[in-house]
Structure 1
Amino acid sequence: MRSRASSLAAEDPGPKSGPEVPLSTVLLFESGIGVVGLLIAWAFGIEIRLGRTDATALAAAAAGFAVLAALFIVVVRVRWVPLQRINAKLSPILKTLFAGRSLGALLLISVVAGVAEEILFRGALQQIAERYLSPAGAIVATNVVFGLAHAITPAYAVLAFAMGVVLSVVLVVSDSLVAAAATHAVYDFFALALYLRSRRGCPASK
């Protein structure tokens, strides 16, 4: 029996260490979000303005990233049941999409996702909301949608709402969609790389 078990163990290659979803599929999906944003902007006659790229935009992006990184660390470290449920739900999703990818691939995904989601939510939807609501109301309305789009759990929807508010504030303070997209992309890369490393799903070095 022991030799048979050893033989079976030797024949079983074990779970795949790489991601289960091709990189091209992830990039295509994320890019599609940006295309949807551009189509919505076109339909409502909205110009997607990149905005400023000066020191103010850089400072706003840096401050926004610091807040998002702090929120991420709280979610990962604090042992509170709703936050633990987020981790439990996210772990298999992140493993399927990202485990085993190189840092370069994670960076590429983060940049595409950050740019695409900001085009949709802050570039298009927030400008539409500003036509009907106050600036604060537009931020709230936009990020209710942002939170619902990330509603893996109720707590994660609330967390995504809060993170979206941070990104909206970066946009308003800096008058720069570039700053909001940069904040989003850098945060995504930081969170993915750190989370996967902490779960022993460390990205490949190649």
Structure 2
Amino acid sequence: MVAELAFRLNNFLYGLSVSVFKNCTPKSWNLKWDEISLRQWEYLSKVQQPIRRMWRRLRNIFDSFRTYADLSPDIRTRRRVNQFLRSRPALSAKEWFEQFWESKAISKQLAEFVYVYFQKYTGLELARIRPTDRLSEDLHIPAVCWFDWQLSFCNDFEQLFGVDLSNRFDPQTLSTIEDLVMFLNHQLLSVNHS
């Protein structure tokens, strides 16, 4: 929808700039493009420069809107996933850890990190997410997150745990929330044992 609006406005503004350009030339010149004198060309260039600048600015604005839409989360999908998750009981961070991760020898600090930060990046209610939820198929992670969430996630992980994931973290290789937590736990264990 935004792209279509930008396309229509782009065409309208182009037509407007052409008509302004045509109306700014003196009628006495009786222009034929192969007979334009240097003086006439200089005049047309001076008249056209502000129009070009205006056109370039407007085009940049609409390109920004189009790019923003491509890079931002899909709010409808996020709402749909959260609506699906509301049928489940919400668990506190402590309950989430005790019920799913304590028996798998996952540290409480790591479980709380995922509970807090994953919700921050996805906008999903992590209190209702279960380890078997699939990242792409059930939670639609690529659609509900900002385009650069992985970088922020890696930076936050490094600040909290001192482990750089930037060259190892690829969410497309992980299927479920459990895979994600186990991957993060493995990264912590490999650093602690080396």
Both structures adopt the same fold (TM-score exceeding 0.5): no
TM-score normalised according to structure 2 size: 0.29
Structure with greater helix share of residues: 1
Query: Which fold has the larger relative contact order, with Cα–Cα distance below 8 Å and residues 6 or more apart in sequence?
Result: 1
TM-score normalised according to structure 1 size: 0.28
